Amino acid sequence: MRRLLSGLVRLTGRSRSPWRRLSLPVPAGAFGPGSHREFAHYFEGESQVRVDSIDEIVEWLLTCQYMTDAIQFKERDLWQHPTTFEQLRCGDCEDFALWAWRKLAEMGVDAEFYVGRVVRDEEPGVDRQHAWVVYRVDGVPFLFEPAANRHRMIRRLTEAMSGYVPYFAVDGRLRTFAFSGYILDADRSRKAAEGRQTAQGGPGELGALHR
């Protein structure tokens, strides 16, 4: 993680864009508390859902139900294998996104699985950790929200990216990427912690992402 952080600090520099990226090894555990397997694991086993187009992927996802891990599994964070998700048709954002990413990759579409934060205008101080997919067709990138309604499921990346702060991504060839958004949010968390400590009359502390 030290190499990862130092590379991201150099990448970020004075830029305030969270979408600047660096190709380097990112440990699976950095993607979230429920990420315990290497990403090749999610391509193991035979899928029972046949899809031949992005439209068919969308139609199948619309038959699935969103449910938090706390409700479904009584756990903080659990990443389902795509074949398990096919059986349950129920899960949270990581489960929807992992399944969609795998199906796109199997179709030969250039697709990447992302984790990061969603920016909420109505709650700017609230962190919503999230997972989504970015894919490209004829060189045009699209942001794919597999757990969203039909209207918001697929948008051009240029139109949607301001609402997202990416941390890490992995592509169909299992290459991993880190984004300046990880460092920018680390600084954001550190400053917020320092502000709370100052208000309480104590010293500031580094945010958890810097540890």
H-only helix segments in 77-145: 82-88, 93-106
pLDDT in tens, 136-173: 999 999 999 999 999 999 999 999 999 999 999 999 99
**Helix (H), strand (E) at residue 5:** helix 2-12
The two beta strands, 110-118 and 164-171, are antiparallel
pLDDT in tens, 188-201: 766 655 555 555 55
Q: How far apart are CA 100 and CA 64, in angstroms?
A: 12
Task: Please give the radius of gyration of the chain, using alpha carbons only, rounded to the nearest integer.
Answer: 18
pLDDT in tens, 14-59: 667 899 999 999 999 999 999 999 999 999 999 999 999 999 999 9
The two beta strands, 128-137 and 140-144, are antiparallel
* pLDDT bracket for residue 120 (50, 70, 90): confident
Place of tokens 């699935």: 64
Based on the number of CB atoms within 10 Å of its own CB, is 12 exposed (0-12), middle (13-18) or buried (19 or more)? buried
Place of tokens 């060189």: 139
What domains are there in the chain, each with its CATH number? Answer: 33-178 (3.10.620.30)
Q: What integer is the mean pLDDT of 113-121? A: 89
pTM here is: 0.85
